[in-house]
Structure 1
């Protein structure tokens, strides 16, 4: 199977990269506006509804670029999960970049719920007309909870009153969002590898660039191998997530992307040394985003256990 991106797919990713270049703020407001103008959030929405009508596999390069830029905000929840779950006027607004979606996990925890217009808590969804912990008559209540990424704050979500059932397939949307998050992790890992290699070439110790030391070379080579191994798994999952075998492919892809991105983050922190821990260094954006995304839509342990269970279900031959 050929996992090389077509020219159109790659070009769309490069356009997203250019749009996000130099666009940096803590909650991603400027980046969100630019991507909305581009039609990014309607990538998976049918063109008859104002979207681009792309397949998930077509959108992978663009999703990788949001990871490369460490873009905060509910990008995947909106552009992928929301696009597959919503309908009617909400879907039209989403395609125009005028509506944000936050998705809560099985523990009713959602990142960026304070920015969302619509909150999904499987299998229910509610419009966030207002939010107040002191007003139980409102549809959505949010309680802040500790998180590792200041740019992606976590909330416990409680849906009260007027909620409705999801219109799209929850399983399909969850798988697609898992693959999209894996693509973001690949993009973040590529950025961390590129910047760390560049730093290792410039930083000198004992009279030579630290990138010339075998221990550093091997550390970064391990990251490169992990990323190049994980990327085709993500691409395959983007092609098969709707198939019966898609569950296994999706879990394998997310586990591999989690591991590759976390390995890249650890190597970046080690090679940069003490400066890597500082708030002033931009490296922190990618470190915290990797740690946050690797927990979103399932940890490595969760997905490895799922792959193991699915493999054991396959009958032995003969």
Structure 2
């Protein structure tokens, strides 16, 4: 398969990056209100309503149209249930509420398996159940990311929006991985040991190179999955699982390497690095952990006609 992103698709991603750099800097993510001005900015550029049909005030775009834009939202660690509201909710909530999503006035938390940012949400969605805030019996659940609190909800969380939301989450993980790579490379060029910057050490170069390779291998899988979903390809679910696995692992490698490059200070809240580390660890299990997507990928491969002919 050969394709390149269109000018419009790249322009949307560029607009998202531009507005988030202004409205969602690290200090706003760290201490600002959730979801904050970044949320309103994303509504204004159309990302919140990107997957809402045009007749309800949205843009009616495909996953391929928005995958680069969601990568940018990961890069900035945007607070709030963004994937749940902008990607999952248009597939799950009543049509009468879609215009509110496009306008940025309706916040939706969808279990995957836990409800993220349930305290902010106007609607809670657990499986096929859609309930207004306050109607479900919710229990706070520990979260590694203070900017993404979790809540446990009763019932089966399995959702028809799984593939679309998992793809958008994979794109966010890819963006997070790229941001962590930038932070690690930048710090390696400044931190000095034994009279030299640590970026000149061969061992550090190898680790940073491994991160770059992991991200470059994950990106085509994420883009392939977006293409498959946009064109309703028969193997779309398989491609999404491959993308989520690759992006999760690449982002985890980037997080681990960035932490090693920064040393002990990387564990502290003193650095903004903690924001991206926490978000990677929070998003890896969201919309299917590695075990779930490995199982889906294995089942798809074993059931394929080509694999069935193998001895």
Name 1:216's counterpart in structure 2: 204
Q: Distance in 2 between matches of 1:192 and 1:153?
A: 22
Q: Does 1:76 align with 2:83?
A: yes
Q: Distance in 2 between matches of 1:178 and 1:314?
A: 22
Structure 1 residues 301 and 88: CA distance shift in structure 2, 3 A: closer
Name 2:149's counterpart in structure 1: 153
Q: CA deviation at 1:3?
A: 4.7
- TM-score, scaled to structure 1: 0.89
Q: Distance in 2 between matches of 1:3 and 1:262?
A: 28
Counterpart contact for 1:43–1:79, Cα < 8 Å: yes
Name 2:169's counterpart in structure 1: 181
Q: What is the DSSP-based 3-state SS (H/G/I as helix, E as strand, rest coil) of the residue aligned with 2:104?
A: coil
Pairwise mapping of residues 107-256 of structure 1 onto structure 2 (< 5 A)? 109-128=114-133, 131=134, 139-158=135-154, 170-171=159-160, 173-241=161-229, 242-256=232-246
Give a deviation string over 1:207-226, Cα, whole Å, max 9, x none.
21111111111101111111
**Among 30, 35, 47, the residue aligned to 2:37:** 30
Q: Gapped runs of 5+ residues in structure 2?
A: none
Q: CA deviation at 1:45?
A: 1.2
**Among 295, 298, 301, the residue aligned to 2:285:** 295
Pairwise mapping of residues 256-267 of structure 1 onto structure 2 (< 5 A)? 256-267=246-257
- TM-score, scaled to structure 2: 0.91
Q: Distance in 2 between matches of 1:201 and 1:281?
A: 17
Q: Distance in 2 between matches of 1:244 and 1:5?
A: 22
Q: Distance in 2 between matches of 1:121 and 1:178?
A: 16
Counterpart contact for 1:240–1:246, Cα < 8 Å: yes
Give a deviation string over 1:173-195, Cα, whole Å, max 9, x none.
21000000000000000111011
Counterpart contact for 2:48–2:86, Cα < 8 Å: yes
Q: Distance in 1 between matches of 2:197 and 2:91?
A: 49
Q: Distance in 2 between matches of 1:301 and 1:142?
A: 26
Q: What is the DSSP-based 3-state SS (H/G/I as helix, E as strand, rest coil) of the residue aligned with 1:21?
A: helix
Q: CA deviation at 1:123?
A: 1.6
Structure 1 runs of 4+ off > 6 angstroms?
A: none
Q: CA deviation at 1:301?
A: 2.5
Structure 1 residues 3 and 275: CA distance shift in structure 2, 3 A: farther
Q: Distance in 1 between matches of 2:112 and 2:188?
A: 39
Q: Gapped runs of 5+ residues in structure 1?
A: 132-138, 160-168
Q: CA deviation at 1:158?
A: 4.3
Q: Distance in 2 between matches of 1:145 and 1:317?
A: 46
Name 1:8's counterpart in structure 2: 8
Counterpart contact for 2:222–2:244, Cα < 8 Å: yes
Q: Distance in 1 between matches of 2:275 and 2:2?
A: 33
Q: What is the DSSP-based 3-state SS (H/G/I as helix, E as strand, rest coil) of the residue aligned with 2:80?
A: coil
Counterpart contact for 2:112–2:288, Cα < 8 Å: no
Q: Does 1:273 align with 2:269?
A: no
Q: Distance in 2 between matches of 1:140 and 1:155?
A: 11
